A and B are shown apart, each in its own frame.
Chain A
Amino acid sequence: AQSVTQLDSHVSVSEGTPVLLRCNYSSSYSPSLFWYVQHPNKGLQLLLKYTSAATLVKGINGFEAEFKKSETSFHLTKPSAHMSDAAEYFCVVSGRGTGFQKLVFGTGTRLLVSP
Chain B
Amino acid sequence: EPEVTQTPSHQVTQMGQEVILRCVPISNHLYFYWYRQILGQKVEFLVSFYNNEISEKSEIFDDQFSVERPDGSNFTLKIRSTKLEDSAMYFCASSPAGAPDTQYFGPGTRLTVL
Contacts and interface: CB of A to CB of B under 8 A. Distances in A.
B103 to A, nearest CB: 6
Interface of B is mostly: strand
A46 B102 contact: yes
A55 B55 CA distance: 30
B20 to A, nearest CB: 19
Interface in B52-76: 55-56, 58
Given A36-B105, A42-B107, A49-B102, A102 B4 contact: no
A106 B42 contact: yes
A99 B104 contact: no
B42 A105 contact: yes
Given A43-B91, A44-B91, A102 B102 contact: no
Contact of B45 (A44, A45, A103): A103
Interface of B: 4, 6, 31, 33, 35, 42-45, 48, 50, 55-56, 58, 91, 93, 95, 100-108
